[in-house]
Amino acid sequence: MVQMLKTLSFKLIIALSVSGLISSGCASWNSSDSGHRDVASTRKASSGNSDELPFRTICPPGPFDGKLIIHQLYVGQGDSAIIRTPSGTIVLIDGGESPNYEKVIKPTLQNCYKTEKIDYIVLSHPHSDHFGGLLALTKDNTFTVRKFITGTTNMEKGETGSEFHQLITNAEKLTGAGAGTIGHGKSGGGVTLGNKDIVDSKVVFNVIVSNGAVLNSGPVPAAYESADVVRDDNSVSVGMLISFGKFKFFTGGDITGENTATGASHPNIESSVAKQVGQVDVYKASHHGSDTSNNQDILNALRPTNVIVSVGAGGKNTGTFHLPRKGAIERMNTLSSVENIFMLSAGASEDISADEMNSYRKVKNLGPEENGAVGSDAVVVVDEGGRSYEIYGADRANHPISVFKSK
């Protein structure tokens, strides 16, 4: 499948070259309101990033007028997404590890979206592969931030606790929110379940779950060992349903979906979430395609057409995490609604061989492997009113190339 995708990409580039269209470029374009847009080509991750390998970031083709952009950034073994609404609201969800701020987030916001203003930052949960880049952002003073949203500031583990609490302190100063106002506590923490925290005139951001508390159904007891002691940092992730007209997208950080009643260590939050969310067009796979997430209940409820898996191809994933996992990929691959499972890189699974991964007909690696680049962004561009949408990855020339277009 990977070889097929590479072959198709090559043929498309040749066809565009023959027609003379390739000379115009897809990553560079002219718009009356913002002019030329471009982003740097293949980047080499700096020391300390979760992937010590080159990767690609792309700008969505424009102009953006009337469109919703969901830009899932390739940040190696981590998670980060930029959302731009038709009204111009900028939402940053997570930030990957710390080096990704300078290498990916900052240049993408400045070069693709021509902004140094972030309306909302959402941190899904307190793990460094999600908050590291946000900590770097709060130290830089380049961007103004209107509001910082996260759930609990209690942590199951303390290895990154001091950095996380520094982030919260920085965010309270940066936004002018005041000390002790971001996060803290259980049953929602600093997040209001529902659509009140992020306000936009065109797009609805509906918080379905935070801190193990689910909209319309309350806290899931298994998320906490006692009082404010969380059982698993992943299980208290913030999960949101983002709606624009007919289009729907769900993202849930590293939310968990195992059954602790059978001895599993990761609380089943997903099955409660599944009861509150209907069918979506695009699903950002939870926990980088881990088998402790993406359970059958939530997949059956969401019934996505396309799945995006944010996963790294080296570094921590190769040495420690080995994601995605076979059970999760097989559940997605056998779900009848799913047409594509877009991997931002090939990943580093320890229980799926390369041949097995290639045998999953719906799995497609968006990271071009030519010239040593292993990862690519995934950009979802939704037309006005959510009537149709298109998904882009990177071609070998680091231009966005369409990999899916809704019918």
Q: Is residue 335 part of a domain?
A: yes
Unique residue bearing structure tokens 């379905």: 208
- Phi, psi of 110, rounded to the nearest 5 degrees: -75, -45
188 occurs within a structural domain: yes
> What is the pLDDT, as a whole number, of residue 1?
46
The token pair at 295 is 């359970």
Distance of CA 213 to the CA centre of its chain: 21
Confidence (pTM): 0.86
Is residue 54 in some structural domain?
no
Task: State the CATH number of the domain containing residue 310.
Answer: 3.60.15.10
**Peptide bond before residue 63 is cis, with ω within 30 degrees of 0:** yes
User: Does residue 38 lie within any of the structural domains?
Assistant: no
Closest CA to 114 of 5, 39, 195, 217: 39
pLDDT confidence of residue 226: 73
39 assigned to some structural domain: no
Q: What stretches of 266-381 show up as alpha helix (H) in DSSP? A: 270-274, 296-302, 315-316, 326-334, 354-359
With CA atoms as reference, report the closest residue to 78 among 122, 150, 133, 121. 133
- Give the closest residue to 64 by CA, choosing from 24, 32, 22, 40: 32
Q: What is the pLDDT of residue 161?
A: 74
Question: Can you tell me the distance from the alpha carbon of 319 to that of 326, in angstroms, rounded to the nearest whole number?
Answer: 17
Write down the pLDDT at residue 6.
Answer: 43
Q: How many CB atoms lie within 10 A of CB 45?
A: 24
Q: How many domains does the chain have?
A: 1
Whether 56 is in a domain gets the answer: no
What integer pLDDT is reported at residue 28 of this predicted model?
A: 28
| Residue 236: per-residue pLDDT | 87
SS3 assignment, position 66 = coil
The number of beta carbons lying within 10 Å of the beta carbon of residue 104 is 28
What was the pLDDT predicted at 160?
Answer: 58
Q: Which domain holds residue 115?
A: 64-405
Report the distance separating Cα 136 and Cα 247, nearest Å: 33
* Tokens 């690696």 -> residue: 365
**Full pLDDT tens readout for the chain, 407 residues:** 444 444 444 344 434 333 333 233 333 222 323 333 344 444 444 333 444 445 567 999 989 989 999 999 999 889 999 999 999 999 999 999 999 999 999 999 999 999 999 999 999 998 989 999 999 999 999 999 999 999 866 665 544 578 988 999 999 999 998 887 787 544 434 688 999 999 999 999 999 999 889 999 988 888 877 766 777 888 889 999 999 999 999 999 999 998 655 666 788 999 999 999 999 999 999 998 998 999 999 999 999 999 999 988 766 666 676 779 899 999 999 999 999 999 998 776 778 888 888 899 999 988 766 545 578 999 999 999 999 999 999 887 788 999 999 98
Per-residue tokens: 277: 């969310």
Name residue, tokens 């939870």: 286
- Please tell me the distance from the alpha carbon of residue 394 to that of residue 72, in angstroms, as a whole number: 12
Is residue 346 domain-resident? Answer: yes
What distance in Å separates the CA atoms of residue 67 and residue 61, rounded to the nearest whole number? 11
| Phi/psi-derived region of residue 339, left when phi > 0, alpha when psi is between -120 and 50, beta in every other case | alpha
Q: What is the pLDDT of residue 69?
A: 98
Task: Report yes or no on 13 lying in a domain.
Answer: no
DSSP state of 266: S
C-beta of residue 242 within 8 angstroms of C-beta of residue 302: no
